[in-house]
Amino acid sequence: MSKVAVKARLLLLAGLAPLALAMPTAVQAQTAASPPLSPQTQECLDCHGDYHPGIVADWQSSRHATTTPAAALELPALERRVSNPEIPEGLRQVAVGCYECHSLNPGRHADNFEHFGFRINIVVSPADCRTCHSEEADQYARSKKANAVANLADNPLFHQLSETTLANQEMREGRLFSLPAAEATRNQTCYSCHGTRIEVQGTREVEVEGEVVNLPRLSNWPNQGVGRINPDGSAGACTACHPRHSFAIAIARQPQTCGQCHREPDTPAFEAYEESKHGNIFDAQRAEWNWSAVPWRVGRDFRAPTCATCHNALLATPDGKQIVPRTHDFGERLWVRLFGLPYAHPQPADGRTHLLRNQDGQPLPTTLAGVPAAAGLIDQAEQGRRQKAMAEVCQSCHGALWVQGHFARLDSVVVQTNQVTLAATQLLQEAWKRKLADPTNLFDEPLERQWVEIWLFHATSARYSAAMGGAGLASFELGWWDINATLGEMEHSMHQRSGKAGK
Amino acid sequence: MSKVAVKARLLLLAGLAPLALAMPTAVQAQTAASPPLSPQTQECLDCHGDYHPGIVADWQSSRHATTTPAAALELPALERRVSNPEIPEGLRQVAVGCYECHSLNPGRHADNFEHFGFRINIVVSPADCRTCHSEEADQYARSKKANAVANLADNPLFHQLSETTLANQEMREGRLFSLPAAEATRNQTCYSCHGTRIEVQGTREVEVEGEVVNLPRLSNWPNQGVGRINPDGSAGACTACHPRHSFAIAIARQPQTCGQCHREPDTPAFEAYEESKHGNIFDAQRAEWNWSAVPWRVGRDFRAPTCATCHNALLATPDGKQIVPRTHDFGERLWVRLFGLPYAHPQPADGRTHLLRNQDGQPLPTTLAGVPAAAGLIDQAEQGRRQKAMAEVCQSCHGALWVQGHFARLDSVVVQTNQVTLAATQLLQEAWKRKLADPTNLFDEPLERQWVEIWLFHATSARYSAAMGGAGLASFELGWWDINATLGEMEHSMHQRSGKAGK
Amino acid sequence: MSKVAVKARLLLLAGLAPLALAMPTAVQAQTAASPPLSPQTQECLDCHGDYHPGIVADWQSSRHATTTPAAALELPALERRVSNPEIPEGLRQVAVGCYECHSLNPGRHADNFEHFGFRINIVVSPADCRTCHSEEADQYARSKKANAVANLADNPLFHQLSETTLANQEMREGRLFSLPAAEATRNQTCYSCHGTRIEVQGTREVEVEGEVVNLPRLSNWPNQGVGRINPDGSAGACTACHPRHSFAIAIARQPQTCGQCHREPDTPAFEAYEESKHGNIFDAQRAEWNWSAVPWRVGRDFRAPTCATCHNALLATPDGKQIVPRTHDFGERLWVRLFGLPYAHPQPADGRTHLLRNQDGQPLPTTLAGVPAAAGLIDQAEQGRRQKAMAEVCQSCHGALWVQGHFARLDSVVVQTNQVTLAATQLLQEAWKRKLADPTNLFDEPLERQWVEIWLFHATSARYSAAMGGAGLASFELGWWDINATLGEMEHSMHQRSGKAGK
């Protein structure tokens, strides 16, 4: 669009936009088969189709572009992808376009701004998606993912771990001197997955074809972390798993989607899956599967599970009877928590794990000796319920003996890895006692880093491998070889220093 | 199926099953196009289709479900997938269904049990698959893979390596104390790939829709390792590569299938392939290839090799003339053994490598100085024959100069990596001599683990890279950088300790 | 083909070939739809179709086999894949077959040889491809890639790094003694990607079906490295990215192609991409995209970028308007250089980086303190132009705020990683000063290798992650965790040695 055209549009919209807003059902046919577009969305597309053709094409490929909420609500319950029966009238009869999502709840959006006569939010949040997907948003809000920022930033120990890991350094008088982690460093690492805190900090001028446009200036942007704090105060980013403007369920069901964050060495779920028989069959047959069907029918739409199959999808038999319901609280079929902490332990009852306290008052689900916190973790009955839900998924394709054997092996590996973590912890405590390391910061000395690697990387890898497959991961790749090699190095190093200290 | 239905079926079958067994040709049409099913298989499907729809759907997608042995035997020799011309009459005219495989050789199966009037084996073994696939089963039985359990468990040195690697630890009086590896740890690591020993240990009650079913209790189950010891005494699991109930040749031909076990850091075949030009072309074009054709026609069905192409597939020219025959003894086109041992050496003549003894009496194909065992390894003539077979595969797509240059480079890399392994071994022997380490257990001290990493991880990576491609693997990723860095650390560490010892 | 047939062909060709060469427009129809073949190419195919069916089938799948230069020149400018309007008459009307490429510029080719009556070059070089693809060849010749051999071999510091990394070792009198890197080791590692120097060293006899054929003997062959020195004196191998005989643009556009060389740990571009949202969407949707379209239309042909999209492809809007032009100088849209050197710095102005000198006279783009060289690096204006070109690519799918935020984060990560590299360098200099290490060779002692790992592996990983995505890569996988852990180990190790030295 030329400068002149931009200006013309600007003047035009200044007058017409309010009128258009007053006529939400006035629409313009996209194609014969396509649902009607709102006039506002049509305006968005006219301009942004020139500037950002990729965004528009992506959206055009989406279900949002090819149906209406009204049509979506008419589907049989198991096939329905919207869960709010009270979708506002004004949104029901048009495609779910740019304006339908980027204009919601303007009063709550600190990032709302005037744009060619429209009031637009830059960031679309779970609270906005909730307009149609209410159950999913509510489930998600309860999850550990939605609370991922506070679970890291507001847990003093995790905060210390991340800040120590990300510290910059400079040399002063022949010694390293630790500098605070930079914001860019935080945002490109931990908070890239956990989510950043997006705040509006004045405005920024952007030049578009020679024309200056004023846009809100956002801190810590871009980010699509699972617990992102949005300018409307809500938490999460649905686009973490339903990315960009296709919002495709087909992408959310791909293991690579989860694998953006759940990767070696600290959360090697992707590698465990990739090396498993599940991952093997997925990789060989994925091109033949139906990635978009709702419900997702075992054996008919797919023949081996992905992450989504076991952890959150609505599954059905080939003839469409529900096996397990959909959930967007991703821990709902999990009874034991395998990663991110020294000891595997019962799942927390609340997604806000930063509120947990162990019996020594530390913000951890267990003591450093592995004793589970007295409160805040699910009880045995709930563990049994969750294991049963998961077993129903497994038994779609495996006999009962198989499933029992698999769960029993996982139980035993949890015991084994907790046992060896206890040995590592006691060895470190011995080092602290003998003044070979200083427990003021638990994470900043070679011996302490080796201890962290044992539980955060190696014990976790062995557990993931037991839960999902991937024998190499538990053997020489990251698991037992490294557990014993690192323990051996810790003890050797302590012996070396003690020898010196003893002289 | 409701409780009542299960009971009804139980009572019914108690009377009818023997009759059905007496009428193996009485079948029931699946669809117009499908081959007939035996009445027993139809019974299996009626129930298990409800309980395990994924298994049934997987089987329905298989060649087993869509042809009969009689039809399979009528194909031209090169297109045939069955090799036993003497398939029993009773199996010939029906689809290869649940009952056809899970009822074979009941007298040999310790896992055979009574199930709703049928005698069923839980585990189908290579000895059962042999009923139709006799040549493949015989070839496989000769391979190192089929002997993978004994090759690890009955080789005292390998056994020591695995037990040391998988040991648990506890602290006693301020020191680490080594505990034996747990069975679950063994089964999730080494024996997950090598295979577990499945034994029947009484029975286990399983509840199905409120009804109690008695099933044999299997030790070390589930497992699909290549050398699994089955309850009928046979070794191997065809499902390691032809997984679940599709038994698809298309899956067995995918590199990811081999890559479940042949992975970084100890057997990085998958990574070498993935980083190679072969892997690159495969990844780009795989969707266009014919993964199921027998014979597999070069250039027509595929345009770059996968693991199976070079190592075991029956290959043909585009117009169907055989290039190399199929083999399920996976070493048959290999002359030099690149991994799992300090020195590359001529392939063993027998799959039972645990029987090898070097000139110092150790259960190894070479001495610790690299001298090959006097007996048990293939001679130069046989090495030449195997290299020639592989060259014929290569020359389908590469000129003779290319192939000669590639093989010459591999030869040289074998010499180089053996040379540097000798240096590492002599350095460790120096440490033993100087009492800086104790050779009682070759694998349990930091210096010894570094030595292991040099040959088991780093030299192997350099060799695989020379054999299959993947320059990074040989450079900074796992190969020469790590070889020299680890040697440097070993020497530095010995110097540190000697310094102290010398004071 | 039988021995007799080979002989017959030999005799026949001895007489006929010159005649055929004199009639370059005499062609033979391949199929109704296919373009005519030259008689020479027809001869090649007749024989090589028997010996190397994979090569022939690959070529038959290529655009070269299915069009003629004349037809290619008639396409609209943006759709054109050939850039030389002056393609020689004799080549214009036939398919681009074996002979058309393997017979070019015989006078320059030291690898030209007589083959059944034809003069054939074994190696086809960029100088040959230039016959039709002149712009691409010229752009490529300016790039760092084309100069990759000299940039490594003729830079004394890089040469020292590679030779130290690849050294073999032997034990002499209880100590390691370093041996020069073997040629095979060089060729399987650094020079596999950078390219080898192919020279003709006499001839070699090859047996073909019992018949002896004389072929030039090539040194350091096979190799497809990006800077390969060819027997005609030219540099590069187009087949590095357009592999084998399909020369497919579809393969060159796949991330795995770049990922053959640009991999963990030193150039982890592939892993950064794979873990990014771009890589996630690519992986989920790649099967639906048009990988061969020219120009490559954003949103229509693909919906997320691959390496080629951002770095070199000719991009257009969905309706075919150019966004950015094609380039085969792969640094042309890059302003800052992120890898391979201690400090990120402005891109070099010339592809021959081995000519750069820093202010201390070292062959580096910065001093060891991070100060950029006074000459040879692009200035700020040029940096701005390149960033603008890249921003235009980004803005096809991202808003201006997003792009600005992304670039600002990258800028900051460059500052952060340069800062921590400075600390590491000063720490090493302190060690040199205190005689804890010897700066004669910068790369051969444990402390020096740790320093190298900090910048070559870990800082680079953090930068790539900031540039392309992949949070894990910057966190626990290779980035900040390892930066701080390695620094901690360096300091601890210096303290240990100093302690001893101080006694």
- CATH number of domain containing A335: 1.20.850.10
CA dist., res. A389 & res. A405, Å (int)? 16
Does residue B81 sit in the same domain as residue B217?
Answer: yes
Select from C264, C404, C436, C484 the residue whose CB has the most chain A CBs within 10 Å, as the one to mutate to test that interface: C484
Contact C57 B299 (CB under 8 A): yes
Select from C303, C321, C324, C495 the residue whose CB has the most chain A CBs within 10 Å, as the one to mutate to test that interface: C303
Residues in chain A within 8 Å Cβ distance of C412: 182-185
CA distances for A160 relative to A181, A229, A483, C429, C500, angstroms: 11, 21, 23, 30, 33
Contact B254 A299 (CB under 8 A): no
Residues in chain C within 8 Å Cβ distance of A456: 476
Q: What is the least distance, in Å, from the CA of B121 to any CA of chain A?
A: 13
Low-confidence stretches of chain C (pLDDT beneath 50): 1-32, 501-503
Q: What is the least distance, in Å, from the CA of B5 to any CA of chain C?
A: 43
Mean pLDDT of B196-209: 89
3-state secondary structure of A298: strand
What's the domain range around B441?
A: 407-503
Does residue A157 sit in the same domain as residue A266?
Answer: no
Contact B401 C57 (CB under 8 A): no
Query: Which residue from B404, B409, B488 is facing C184, i.e. has the nearest CB?
Result: B409
Q: Which residues contact A440 (CB under 8 A, 6 or more apart)?
A: none
Q: What is the least distance, in Å, from the CA of A256 to any CA of chain C?
A: 6
Residues in chain A within 8 Å Cβ distance of C481: 165
CA dist., res. C206 & res. B95, Å (int)? 51
Closest by CA to C136, choosing from C97, C101, C84, is C84
In this model, does residue B49 exceed pLDDT 50?
yes
Evaluate whether residue C17 is within a structural domain: yes
Select from B56, B60, B162, B185 the residue whose CB has the most chain A CBs within 10 Å, as the one to mutate to test that interface: B185
Query: Which residue from A183, A221, A446 is facing C492, i.e. has the nearest CB?
Result: A446
pLDDT on residue B120: 98
Encoded tokens for A326: 């959909």
Q: Which residues contact C231 (CB under 8 A, 6 or more apart)?
A: C109, C110, C111, C121, C122, C123, C125, C198, C199, C200, C216, C218
CA dist., res. B436 & res. A424, Å (int)? 24
Query: Which residue from C168, C175, C446 is facing B420, i.e. has the nearest CB?
Result: C168
Query: Which residue from C53, C188, C496 is facing B318, i.e. has the nearest CB?
Result: C53
Q: Assess contact for A437 and A448: CB atoms under 8 A.
A: yes
| Nearest-Cα residue of chain C relative to residue B428 | C174
Does residue C271 sit in the same domain as residue C201?
Answer: no
Evaluate whether residue B485 is within a structural domain: yes
Q: Tell which of A239, A273, A308 closes a domain.
A: A239
Q: Assess contact for B378 and B349: CB atoms under 8 A.
A: yes
Query: Which residue from A171, A261, A496 is facing C423, i.e. has the nearest CB?
Result: A171
Q: What is the least distance, in Å, from the CA of C47 to any CA of chain B?
A: 12
Q: How many domains does chain C have?
A: 3
| Nearest-Cα residue of chain B relative to residue A477 | B265
Q: What is the least distance, in Å, from the CA of B193 to any CA of chain C?
A: 26
Query: Which residue from C318, C423, C480 is facing A176, i.e. has the nearest CB?
Result: C423
Q: Which chains touch A (3 or more CB pairs under 8 A)?
A: B, C
Does residue C64 sit in the same domain as residue C149?
Answer: no
Residues in chain B within 8 Å Cβ distance of A499: 500
Give me the half-sphere count of Cα atoms (radius 13 Å) on the Cβ side of residue A309: 30
Residues in chain C within 8 Å Cβ distance of A445: 488, 492
Evaluate whether residue C242 is within a structural domain: no
Residues in chain C within 8 Å Cβ distance of B416: 168, 182, 184-185
Select from C388, C407, C421, C475 the residue whose CB has the most chain A CBs within 10 Å, as the one to mutate to test that interface: C475
Helical packing angle, A480-502 and B156-166, nearest 10°: 70
Encoded tokens for C357: 């000198």
In this model, does residue B36 exceed pLDDT 50?
yes
Contact C221 B475 (CB under 8 A): no
**H-state helical runs in A52-124:** 53-60, 63-66, 69-73, 89-92, 98-102
Contact B218 A471 (CB under 8 A): no
Q: What is the least distance, in Å, from the CA of C385 to any CA of chain B?
A: 33
Residues in chain C within 8 Å Cβ distance of B500: 500
Q: What is the least distance, in Å, from the CA of C180 to any CA of chain B?
A: 11
Prediction pTM value: 0.94
Evaluate whether residue B156 is within a structural domain: no
Residues in chain B within 8 Å Cβ distance of A399: 52, 122
Q: Which long-range contacts (CB under 8 A, 24 or more apart) does C280-283 make?
A: C280/A243, C280/A251, C280/A254, C280/A256, C280/A257, C280/A259, C280/A260, C280/C304, C281/A243, C281/A244, C281/A251, C282/C255, C282/C306, C283/A254, C283/A256
Residues in chain B within 8 Å Cβ distance of A408: 184
Does residue C144 sit in the same domain as residue C97?
Answer: no
Does residue B225 sit in the same domain as residue B272?
Answer: no
| Nearest-Cα residue of chain A relative to residue B496 | A496
Evaluate whether residue A244 is within a structural domain: no
| Nearest-Cα residue of chain C relative to residue A172 | C423
Encoded tokens for C102: 């393997």
Evaluate whether residue C364 is within a structural domain: yes
| Nearest-Cα residue of chain A relative to residue B246 | A303
Select from C188, C217, C266, C453 the residue whose CB has the most chain B CBs within 10 Å, as the one to mutate to test that interface: C188
Residues in chain B within 8 Å Cβ distance of C250: 284-285
Q: Tell which of A50, A77, A102 closes a domain.
A: A102
3-state secondary structure of B294: coil
Evaluate whether residue B342 is within a structural domain: no
Does residue B13 sit in the same domain as residue B85?
Answer: yes
pLDDT digits over C356-384, tens only? Answer: 999 999 999 999 999 999 999 999 999 99
pLDDT on residue A326: 98
Give me the half-sphere count of Cα atoms (radius 13 Å) on the Cβ side of residue B252: 26
Which class for B297: exposed (0-12), middle (13-18), buried (19 or more C-beta within 10 A)? buried
pLDDT on residue B112: 98
- Each of the 503 residues of chain A gets a pLDDT tens digit; together they read 444 444 444 444 444 333 333 333 323 334 446 899 999 999 999 999 999 999 999 999 999 999 999 999 999 999 999 999 999 999 999 999 999 999 999 999 999 999 999 999 999 999 999 999 999 999 999 999 999 999 999 999 999 999 999 999 999 999 999 999 999 999 999 999 999 999 999 998 887 777 888 899 999 999 999 999 999 999 999 999 999 999 999 999 999 999 999 999 999 999 999 999 999 999 999 999 999 999 999 999 999 999 999 999 999 999 999 999 999 999 999 999 999 999 999 999 999 999 999 999 999 999 999 999 999 999 999 999 999 999 999 999 999 999 999 999 999 999 999 999 999 999 999 999 999 999 999 999 999 999 999 999 999 999 999 999 999 999 999 999 999 999 999 999 999 887 654 33
Encoded tokens for B94: 């029906």
pLDDT band at B33 (very low <50, low <70, confident <90, very high): low
Contact C449 B485 (CB under 8 A): yes
Does residue A66 sit in the same domain as residue A149?
Answer: no
- Local structure of residue B240 (DSSP, 8 states): G
Does residue C114 sit in the same domain as residue C54?
Answer: yes
pLDDT on residue B208: 74
Find out whether the peptide bond into B265 is cis, omega within 30 degrees of 0.
yes
Q: Which chains touch B (3 or more CB pairs under 8 A)?
A: A, C
| Nearest-Cα residue of chain C relative to residue B286 | C287
Q: What is the least distance, in Å, from the CA of B136 to any CA of chain C?
A: 27
Select from A264, A277, A433 the residue whose CB has the most chain B CBs within 10 Å, as the one to mutate to test that interface: A277
Does residue C140 sit in the same domain as residue C283?
Answer: no
Does residue A322 sit in the same domain as residue A469?
Answer: yes
Does residue B234 sit in the same domain as residue B252?
Answer: no
Residues in chain A within 8 Å Cβ distance of B182: 412, 415-416
Cβ contacts below 8 Å, chain A against chain B, sum to 187
Q: Tell which of A195, A212, A239 closes a domain.
A: A239
Evaluate whether residue B401 is within a structural domain: no
pLDDT on residue A143: 98
